[in-house]
Structures are given as C-alpha cells and as structure tokens.
Amino acid sequence: MKLAYFGTPDFAVPALNALAESRHEVVLVVSKPDRPVGRHKVMTSPPVIEVAHRLELPIAQPKGMKGGTFKDVLVDCGAEIAVVVAYGKLIPGDLLSVPPHGFVNLHPSLLPRHRGPSPIQWALVCGDRTTGVTTIQLDEGMDTGPILLQERLAIKSTETAETLSPRLAELGAKLMVATLDALEEGTVKPRRQPEDGSNVTPMLRRNFAKVDWTMPSRQLVNRLRGFTPWPGLYTKFRGGRLKIFGLEEVRPAPSGKEDVGTVLEVGPPGILVRCGRGSAALITEMQREGRRRLPADAFLIGERVSRGEVFG
C-alpha cells in the first residue's frame, strides 16, 4: 500500500526504516518543523526528517494542520493509508478519513493500559513487569481506537525508560509492517478496546523529579527508572540539589522510627535513607549542583555525610 508516515523523534525512526524496506511504498513523510537547539540555537531537523532525506522521500513539516492547505498535500500524495508513530501532535478529525484506509497508530503499551503521552515511563513507574506495543485504528479519542495487533515484551528488572524505549521502537517497527501486511491481505479485524484496566498517563513534568521521601523505597526506585533520562530525580541537600542517578531498595529495611529522609547509614556502598512505610533506599550514585556525577564511595570522600542528617 502507498502510505503517508507521521513521526518525529528517534522512537519513530525504526518504523520508518522498516516500512521503507517493506513491500509498501512511503509516498510522504510528515514531521514537526525544524527547531532551534542548544545554546547557539542551531536550527535542527527532527530525527525522522534526517532519515527521510537519506531515503530521498517526499517531506512535509506543517506548522499546523487545520485549514485546507495540509489536507490538500495529504490528498495529492495519493496515500492509501497513513501511519502515525510518535508524531507529537493530534491529527485533526477532518484528516482521518482522507486516506481510504484511514490512520494506523503505533502505541508503546498494551492498550488500554497506559494511554496518553508517556506510556513507556509510566509502565516503569507503576512497576509493570510486562509491556508491549499496539497498533490501532486512529480515532479522535486519546488512544481509544480499535486494536489491530499487539506484541508483548518483558521488562528487565534494571530497565529504565532510556533503555526500554529503543527496544519497544524496534518491536513496534516489526509490528507496524505486519499490521499493514495484514490489512492489505484482509487477515486482521479491528476489535474494540476493553475499558477494564484502562488508564491515561500524564505528560512528564519537571516537578516530578523532586523526591518525596514519604513514598516507599520501591516506588522511588521505579520513579527513577521511569524518569531516566528526564526529568530524573533530585532531593534537597544542604541548601542545594542532589541529583540521584543510582537508587536501590534495601530489604529488609533497618528498624526504627526516624523521620523520612533521614540518613540511616553511610559507607562505600552508598547513603541509606529512611523512606515511607518504614522502608529504606540506598543512594549509590549522585551529583551535587555544579559538580561531577560520582559513585557513592567517591562522593563520600569529599562530602562528609553523617547519620541523622535529613534530605528533602
């Protein structure tokens, strides 16, 4: 089938490459506009556009899709179907019926679980052991369209969003090709999403990074996994910020009735801190503002952290 491809970040690159190598024909690549990046504000193309240039594919980078201008572009390209992978903007309802076979979206979760803008991160924050990818027919809801195909993926115990995302992108690329093949052959039937188990993830925000030591240690560890690389985790330390890069749950936790955030033990393995519900977490890698990121043993050479000191 002839397809228009909508995608923007690195996550969308594997699917574009896979579709370009498949029996289907990419007749248009649509992405967000170039934007200034870095201190010198250098205009930079999205990763999908860089790949489209390399593959010598037609490109569109509309600032907006409302009105007739972009709709004409989509009509003129002759796409029979449109594929959406992490495009980053909502597709207006009047465009959904332009391709004869509509829009197909790749979502990095096992829908209906983790609808919304940050499913990869929230699968980790929630402590899920399994996630996956889903292809759906796009509708005007938030990831509510009928399911076409799904593929499961086990989450590794030490996985972060930074490592899980590319694994899901590669799995999703294969699933998208399989989905288009099945649609062309008539071997897949859309099925309505169940409402049981559905939830909508929030947009990641910078203020999620602040550690709340009243949370159980397992929950804090999962938040660090989900918020790596961004927004990360930090705690207040001697009037400044201490960024946390390594955090481990300690079981069984030392007994005691210390306030949450209190340093329980200090040693080469790390700084043991009291967390909610009597739990404890070990900070194993950290960084003070304006200084280098260090493992605990190196950090403690320069910072004499004491038992009884309180974070946050």
pLDDT of residue 39: 86
Q: What does the pLDDT average to over 183-191?
A: 97
* Domain with residues 2-185, CATH architecture: 3-Layer(aba) Sandwich (3.40)
Return the domain boundaries, the chain: 2-185, 206-302
pLDDT of residue 126: 97
Calpha distance 296→181 (Å, rounded): 51
121-159: pLDDT as tens digits: 999 999 999 999 999 999 999 999 999 999 999 999 999
277-286: pLDDT as tens digits: 999 999 999 9
- Residues of the chain with pLDDT > 90, as a percent, come to 96
Residue 195 in this model has a pLDDT that exceeds 90: no
Residues ≥6 apart with Cβ < 8 Å to 39: none
Largest CA distance in the chain: 70
206-254: pLDDT as tens digits: 999 999 999 999 999 999 999 999 999 999 999 999 999 999 999 999 9
Closest C-alpha among 311, 298, 240 to residue 270: 298
**Residue for token pair 């983790």:** 114
pLDDT of residue 64: 87
- Give me the CATH topology for the region 206-302: Methionyl-tRNA Fmet Formyltransferase; Chain A, domain 2 (3.10.25)
15-60: pLDDT as tens digits: 999 999 999 999 999 999 999 998 889 999 999 999 999 999 999 9
Neighbours of 167 (CB within 10 A): 18
Calpha distance 145→214 (Å, rounded): 38
